[in-house]
Every structure is written in structure tokens, then in C-alpha cells.
Structure 1
Amino acid sequence: MLVQRSVRKQELAVHIWHIPTSGLESNISSPEYSLPQFDKRVENVLFHPTTEFILSIAYYDTIKIWDILHQKEISCCQGATDQLQSTTWRGDGSMLASSGKDRVVRLHDPRAPHKAALECNGHQSAKDSRIVWLGDTDSILSTGYSSSRIREMSLRDVRAFDKPVKTQQFDASTGILMPLYDADTRMLFLAGKADVSIMYWEVTNKEPYLTEGLKHTGALHGAYHHVPGAAQEFHSDLFPDTRSATSAQTIEAWVTGGNAALAPLSLDPGKRHAPTLEASALIK
């Protein structure tokens, strides 16, 4: 049975919930498990991208890595000198990146914690920022504000971390741009609070690095695209493989240095099957 989990962020607490594959048949009033209360407000909570039951929790200037199956802390990443604003996992789960109010972008090795592995100056305003690792690549993208309060995004290569390979500025709107990245199509979606449009950007590993595509404004009431060719044929070029939802390795394997990739999952309806999870692996 596939188990979906949600994490509720409420000030100083993090709660773990089970949602059955079949959906909710009644209201759930009590969490399955609650982590020990933190001494500062929880800012960001993320599941590990490839390993079941590992959770990263950012609160103020600290990131804790938590094993929710055995209900214990794995490690603690520090180094920030002010409030963390955003965190992100590398696609293979080997590294974390963070941005914060101290205007510094950091890379963290969650299995060799305490001090950041690398750090560099980020966006020049402390107003707000967001960061996203672009899948399994060596690139991270952050959004924030310049010293003159102009919204901008910066693309960095972690192998040459000090200087962005590309910075794109936008406008003086007050809503932070939220970056959402689709690793299958290498498309970046940007939208901000109170914005009336969603921007689409293609990300590549060579000049010009960031290419603006469509910009959608207003409500979308369905869309239709006609694909030339046989109507019954599955077009793998339009619907590339994605990543499966089945855990790639155990917690113990990850803690001891494993970096297993998720198996590819075909979107062809004729090849898909529902993922399973052993009942013994569920949180009791």
C-alpha cells in the first residue's frame, strides 16, 4: 500500500500524518507522530527526494535531518547567522542548499553537518528569498531582491559557486517569486504573490542558460493541443519518463553514504503500474 504523508507547520511544532491511498474517509484529528517541540519557529519542511522517512526541518538558523520512522534526529546543519528563508534538496538527496536573511547562499552536506560545505553572497536584499536545486544537476536557482529592491533570479553552478552564471532582473513588485522546477522537461515556473501572470523559462547548461518562454495571464479554463500522427500512439517525446514514487534505498543506506537514484517511471498508460510499499515499513 502506498502511504502519503503530510507535514503541518505550526509555529514550533511539526506533525506527521498518514493519508491512505484511497483518500480520507473521515476527518483526521490527531497526527500519527509529532516531533519534539523546537525552540524557534519552523520555517521549512521537506521530505528527502529519494529515501523514505527522512525529513529536513529548517528553524531559524538551523537545519535538522530527522528519521521519522525511528523517531530520532540524524544530523544538524548549522552555519547561518540569521533566519533561514528557504531550503532545497539536490535531486539525488546528497546535498542541501539554503538561503537566508543574512543574504548568504549555502551548500550543506547533511551527513557531514555542523558547518556549511560552501557559501557565497546571495541576493543583496534581506527582504526574502527562495532557492531550488535543479534536479540532479550541478545547478541551483534562487529568487530574491537586489539592493534596490528589484525582483531577480540567479542561476549558479555549484562547481564554481562564488559567482552566478546568470542573473535576470524583473520588476519592483513586493511578492517574492516562487520558483517551481520540472526536472523532466527542464522548465522553470515563476509566480509571485499578487502577480497576475505565471512565467515559464527553459533552463539549459550553456548560453543563454535561461530562455523565457510563455507567460500566462488570467484564468485557464482547459487547454487542447493537437499532436499530428496516429491518435492511438503514445508520444514519449512529449511525455518523457518521470521519477517513480518508490523509495530508492533505506535510511541506513543513505546515512552510511548511499546516493541511490529513483527508478524511472514511464507515463505510457500501457506500461504503468501502481507502486507498492511493504506494510512492515509503515510507521506504527
Structure 2
Amino acid sequence: MSRSIVRQSKFRHVFGQAGKTEQGYDDIRVSKVTWDSSFCAVNPKFLAVIVESSGGGAFLVLPLSKMGRLDKNHPLVTGHTGPVLDIDWCPHNDNILASCSEDTTAMVWQIPDQMGTRPISEPIVVLEGHSKRVGIVTWHPTARNILLTAGSDNLIIIWNVGTGEALISMDDHPDLIYNVSWNRNGSLFCTTCKDRRLRVCDPRKREVVAERMAPHDGIRPMRAIFTRDGNLFTTGFTRMSQRELGLWDPTSFEEPIALLELDTSNGVLLPYYDPDTNMVYLCGKGDSSIRYFEITEEPPYVHYLSTFSSKEPQRGMGFMPKRGVDVSKCEIARLYKLHDKKCEPIAMTVPRKSDLFQDDLYPDTAGSDPALEPEEWLEGRDEDPILQSLRDGYVPPKSRELKVAKKNVLDSRPTTRRSMSSCDGSANLPVSHTLPYSDL
């Protein structure tokens, strides 16, 4: 990965630094489920980690400020009857989190700023429409209340969680879906699948608009994410089981823009992308290193920058939204590395001597306000994220109470808390408790 010519880039000297021992989170029993999700989700308020639990699935939510040893009485979020496989914070409300599980459901939770001492066991809404375990949950980047789930029934469902409705259902995948990633304005998403195809899908047309067979020759799982300019960044394996990354233009899928072999480790590489800097951080499960690259318009297009290494392997990783980094320390990214029993923050910083706000490092970034209502997105509108300046740092807003309209119980037959329903992509699914809510 050596270069004969020194390339000019302000990110050439980005370095990673693990937090001090007292800045970590200890005594966390990280889940041992063998599923290739990150097991961790973080936002400017909270750290959430999928944990081992008896009698079903659970995850832990800690205020970021609650560092040190975990209180044995700290409440868990419990409600799933099977292991939790994936979690994702809502980009438009720091107190809302979605989870999905082997119990075939996805759930949406309101996390209070003050956790109290009792477990949180009542979700705001239960989303039922999958017939097998649900392994992926991801929020729409710009539209309020839009959530995508993907299950082992090879089905992708897009929900309006404010009403509990399944808006769109797509069954274009003949095999297990490895990952799903929205593009910047949420008009498209890409998927990788066990059938070795990389697909670009238009959910409102309910069709695959581009696909590439075997962007990586190996049969091991792939990952794909959209970059800021609409290209696709992929990680996978060669035929000889070497790990590999690729950059693709989905409008001309025949040849890659870039293809780079890395090493022979066998952990799936999870990519975390920062659209503000056009940098991508690669974290392999079981690796003890984080490699980072810059994507540019000049050859070789994907430039290796550096590697952060530590002694212990990672079980999973969380990636802080840009609005949660510390601009006073020139921190451009923060990752949360899961070990077997703890979680440690890793700050990525650009060394600068000045104490002034560094405009070139911090362009306006995606804020927490949605750009669209669910109905507008469903009707075909697209909007880029609403941006905000980080000049004065970011202060998370206080928890907003959800405006909940109770359903008239006379409108439908009585249902249990987890009533089952088939999903054809348009049905109004019975959901638990209270709905709809609109202040998310």
C-alpha cells in the first residue's frame, strides 16, 4: 500500500486513539450470537449494545456520560422473545431506537433521558410481517418515521412506524440478504445477498434498477454502502479468500472504478462511511485493527490512509454520527469498539495546532430534522438531509414526548400484545399499544 508520490490531503495524518480506561464502559456481556451485524449503535446521547440475556433477547442502553463499570442493576431493554440481531438509532430523534430479532418482529422503542431502575419492556410499536427472523433494521436518512427491515424470509419491508403500516414489500432476493444501505437522500438502497449479487433497488417502484453478479469472486459474505456521489463501496473476498474492497459506478457495473486486495483474514469487513470527509473505516469482526481510506476523484480513487491497531479483537463496532464528535479536539470520527466484556471509544483526529474551529474539517453535516414526511416520500419526493453547522458544537435536544393517538378499540377485534398478521406490502398491520405518533 506504499505510494511513491506524496498525495496532498488534509486527512493523510488522521490518527486513532483509544479512550482512557475510565472513559470506557466495563462489565458489558456482549451477545454471543453468530450474526454479522455490528451489535452496537451510538448517537450523541446514548450507547446501545446487544447483550447476552436469559429468556429472550435484550439490549443495553447507556447514556454516553455513564462511563466506567456498569451498575449490576442497570435496566435492560427487554421485549423480544428471541435474540436481538440488529439495532439502529433514529437519525431524527436521539431517543428513538429500532431493534429486530429472531422472533420475526421488529420493535421501536422510546428511550427516556433518565433510564430509572426498571427494565424497558413495552415498545412503542411492534412491526409484524416477516415469517422468519429479522436480521437487518435501518432508518431512512431523510424521511420521518420510515424504517426498513430485512428478514431471513428474503423479504424487505418498508414501514411507517408512526402508523404501524407496511408501506412497501419487496421479494426480489432469492436468498439471505447480507446488508442493506440507503443512499444519501433515501431514493434508492443497495443490497448484498447470498446469491452473490449486488443490487440497487428503487423501493417506490418496487424494482431492482441495477445489479452486478459477483463484484467479489469469493463466496464469503459481502457488504455494500452508497457513497456521497452515488457510487457503491463494497467489501468482500477473492476466490483465494483474500479480503478485498471495491468501488463501483452503478450506471456502468461492468468494470470497477477501483479494486484493492487487503489481506487473508476471514472476518467480514464492516464499512463505516463519513460523507462529509468521504472517508471509510473498515472494521473486521475478530480483527484488532481499523483501517481507513479516503475516496477521491483521482486515481487510484480509494486511497489507503492508515491503520489503528490495538491488542484485543473486536466483537462489533458503533459509529458516531458526525454531530456527536468533539470539534474542539479536531475529532472527525469516533468509533465504539466492543470487546467481550467492555466497550471503548476510539477517537479519530486530525492534528492541528490552532484552537479555532476548523472550517475545512467540518462542513455543515446532516442534522436531526427530517427533510420529508412519510407521505411526501411515498409520493415520490426526494430531499437531501437538512444540514447544520458544527461551529458551536452540537447539543442534543431534550427528549420529546411522542404525541400518541389511541386507537378506537371498537374499530377492530381485540388483539393480544403481539398479534400475528400476514403482510402483502399494503396491509394495515395490527400493532401493540398506542399509535400513531408523529413527533418522532
> What TM-score, normalized by structure 1, do the two folds share?
0.89
Cross-structure match for 1:158: 250
**Conserved in 2, the CA contact under 8 Å of 1:78 and 1:116?**
no
Matched residues in 2 for 1:267 and 1:35: separation? 35
Cross-structure match for 2:361: 238
**Residue 208 of structure 2: SS of its match in structure 1?**
coil
Matched residues in 1 for 2:379 and 2:388: separation? 27
**2:397 counterpart of 1:255:** no
Cross-structure match for 1:111: 204
**2:372 counterpart of 1:227:** no
Q: Name the amino acid aligned to 2:182.
A: W
- Which of structures 1 and 2 has the larger relative contact order (alpha carbons within 8 angstroms, sep 6+)? 2
Cross-structure match for 2:217: 124
Matched residues in 2 for 1:79 and 1:156: separation? 21
After superposition, residues 186-197 of structure 1 pair within 5 angstroms as 186-197=278-289
Cross-structure match for 1:77: 170
Matched residues in 2 for 1:6 and 1:278: separation? 14
Post-superposition offset of 1:40? 1.8
**2:139 counterpart of 1:9:** no
**Conserved in 2, the CA contact under 8 Å of 1:7 and 1:45?**
yes
> Which 5+ residue runs of structure 1 have no aligned equivalent?
none
**Conserved in 2, the CA contact under 8 Å of 1:14 and 1:37?**
no
**Residue 117 of structure 1: SS of its match in structure 2?**
strand
Matched residues in 2 for 1:224 and 1:125: separation? 34
**Residue 181 of structure 2: SS of its match in structure 1?**
strand
Cross-structure match for 1:172: 264
Post-superposition offset of 1:23? 4.3
List per-residue Cα deviations over 1:93-124 (Å, max 9, x = no partner): 000100011000001001000x3111111322
Cross-structure match for 2:182: 89
- Of 174-183 and 7-16, more deviation after overlay is shown by 7-16
The 3 A distance-change label for structure 1 pair 283 and 16 is farther
**Conserved in 2, the CA contact under 8 Å of 1:201 and 1:212?**
yes
Q: Name the amino acid aligned to 2:97.
A: S
The 3 A distance-change label for structure 1 pair 2 and 176 is closer
Q: Which runs of 4+ in 1 moved over 4 A?
A: 219-226, 272-281
Matched residues in 2 for 1:2 and 1:210: separation? 33
> What TM-score, normalized by structure 2, do the two folds share?
0.59
Q: Name the amino acid aligned to 1:239.
A: Y
Instruction: Number of aligned residue pairs: give it.
Output: 278
Matched residues in 2 for 1:221 and 1:75: separation? 38
The 3 A distance-change label for structure 1 pair 151 and 25 is same
**Conserved in 2, the CA contact under 8 Å of 1:138 and 1:159?**
no
After superposition, residues 14-53 of structure 1 pair within 5 angstroms as 14-20=106-112, 22-26=113-117, 27-53=119-145
Cross-structure match for 2:307: 215
The 3 A distance-change label for structure 1 pair 180 and 171 is same
The 3 A distance-change label for structure 1 pair 139 and 224 is closer
Q: Name the amino acid aligned to 1:42.
A: V
Identical pairs, percent: 28
- The match for 1:55 among 137, 142, 147 is 147
Q: Name the amino acid aligned to 2:389.
A: S
Matched residues in 2 for 1:126 and 1:6: separation? 33
Matched residues in 1 for 2:258 and 2:351: separation? 35
**Conserved in 2, the CA contact under 8 Å of 1:245 and 1:275?**
no
Post-superposition offset of 1:77? 2.2
The 3 A distance-change label for structure 1 pair 275 and 260 is farther
Matched residues in 2 for 1:107 and 1:187: separation? 22
The 3 A distance-change label for structure 1 pair 83 and 166 is same
Post-superposition offset of 1:221? 7.9
Post-superposition offset of 1:245? 0.9
Cross-structure match for 2:297: 205
Post-superposition offset of 1:205? 2.6
Post-superposition offset of 1:201? 0.2
**Conserved in 1, the CA contact under 8 Å of 2:126 and 2:164?**
no
> Which 5+ residue runs of structure 2 have no aligned equivalent?
1-91, 312-344, 404-436
Matched residues in 1 for 2:170 and 2:254: separation? 21
**Conserved in 2, the CA contact under 8 Å of 1:77 and 1:116?**
no
Matched residues in 2 for 1:162 and 1:224: separation? 37
Post-superposition offset of 1:208? 1.2
The RMSD of aligned alpha carbons is 2.5
Post-superposition offset of 1:210? 0.4
* Higher CA-based Rg: 2
